[in-house]
Structure 1
Amino acid sequence: MLTRSDILSEAIHKCLVEMYKWAQPAIDLDKLIADGYKDSKEDPLYKKHYLSEKNFIYLRDIYKDAYGITDDWNDTFELLIDYLVKGGTEDDYKPATKDRPAYRDYKKVPSLDTLIGKEATDKCLEHIKKCQNFYCGHSRESNQFDMTMALGVGSPNSNAEYVTKYWQSHGRPDFTIKDFKIDDIIYDDEYPAVDEFLESLK
């Protein structure tokens, strides 16, 4: 049976594969593993491939969003608490009349203490905050994913100088690092097709 642990392992692996796809030099990590590659402590793979910190975070966050690992738990609770304490806005549907069609409008919602009193409001907020603190496992999962991708699985490093020197002294004297942001490559018409760009990173 599929477990959350299986899903997280899949997210880590796919994110790592994507990072090496955009690294410099770029590699197909799955193919490398299928071909029998074994990493070594003396000459680890991650040291030989560069990925900028911005691109690392960009890819990491895409996979966190896609796999539901994002930590929006406290943000959601804070929004709820703010809504109850200060009041907010809600839908106000206006039915059709003979003079105009139906339409959707908004109206102000008063703060909770004006509806039920300060003592009852404080009691409600106390229980909401207990719930927020008790079920805060979402942030643990997010933090674990961040740490695993940064330190635990050998993602490409962000030391451009080291990678450049390594390849220039290992048969690629003209090797240089390109400065780019992945979202520019994907969404900016000034850049060539993505496949063409990725090929240029090898």
Structure 2
Amino acid sequence: MISRKDVLQKALHKCFVEMYRWAQPSIDLDELIKNGFKDSTEDPLYARHYLSQDNFKYIRDTYMDAYGIRDTWDDTFELLINQLLEGGIEDDYKEATPDRPAYRNYKKVLPLKEVLTCPGEVNTIIDYIKKCQNFYKGHCYETNQFSCSIALGPSPNCNAKHVEEYWHNHGKPEFKIVEYNISDVIYGEGEFEEMSNEEFIATLKW
């Protein structure tokens, strides 16, 4: 039976594979492992491949969202607290009439201070909600664990100069880092308008 731990390990591996796919030079990490590659402390894989900090975060965050690792705990509580303090909206369903079908509308939700008979209690209520928010915050363990594993694991180097120097000293004096944003490639922005992801990644291989 598959466990949550198995799912997270799979996400971690796939994230590393994707990072090296978009790194410079680009490689197929799965193929490398399949062919018996063993990393070493003397010449670690991560030191030979460059991925900008922005692209690193883009891939990491994409996998965290896809595998449900993203921590939205604080966002949810802040939304709740804001609605209680400032008010908001809620659904207002209108029943069908002879001349109109049923439909959904919205109506205003008043802030707590306009609803409670003792507005001074608003701060007490918010304080109790924040205590709950902070006490049960430990559930974001997965988020922290995944982020740390990616950051401290064998992810590509974000030091362009170091990687360029490595290849210049290992038989590729013409190797040069090209700065780009993954989102521009994926959504065909600017110079990438008529280039597919795979066509661009092919340009990153040496």
TM-score, scaled relative to structure 2: 0.88
Matches of 1:142 and 1:87, distance apart in 2 = 31
Structure 1 residue 190 corresponds to structure 2 residue 193: yes
Tell me the alpha carbon deviations over residues 56-100 of structure 1, each in whole angstroms, 9 at most, x when there is no partner.
Answer: 000000000001111110110111122123221111122333454
Task: Report the CA distance between 1:124 and its aligned residue.
Answer: 4.5
Matched residue SS, 2:115: helix
Moved more, 3-12 or 14-23: 3-12
Matches of 1:62 and 1:93, distance apart in 2 = 36
Matches of 2:9 and 2:135, distance apart in 1 = 25
Unaligned runs of 5+ in 2: none
Q: Percent identity?
A: 57
Residue pair 1:70, 1:138 contacting (<8 A) in 2 also? no
CA 1:191 to 1:25, structure 2 compared with 1: closer, same or farther past 3 Å?
A: farther
How many residues matched?
A: 201
Unaligned runs of 5+ in 1: none
Matches of 2:116 and 2:4, distance apart in 1 = 41
Tell me the alpha carbon deviations over residues 127-186 of structure 1, each in whole angstroms, 9 at most, x when there is no partner.
Answer: 4333322321343321221121111x2100111111111112212121111111111111
Partner of 2:82: 82
Structure 1 residue 147 corresponds to structure 2 residue 157: no
Matches of 1:4 and 1:119, distance apart in 2 = 45
CA 1:21 to 1:109, structure 2 compared with 1: closer, same or farther past 3 Å?
A: same
Counterparts in 2 of 1:1-202, with a 5 A limit?
A: 1-117=1-117, 118=119, 124-151=125-152, 153-188=153-188, 190-202=193-205
Amino acid at match of 1:190: E
Amino acid at match of 1:110: L
Tell me the alpha carbon deviations over residues 180-202 of structure 1, each in whole angstroms, 9 at most, x when there is no partner.
Answer: 11111111152422112111111
Matched residue SS, 1:174: coil
Moved more, 58-67 or 136-145: 136-145
Matches of 2:159 and 2:124, distance apart in 1 = 52
TM-score, scaled relative to structure 1: 0.90
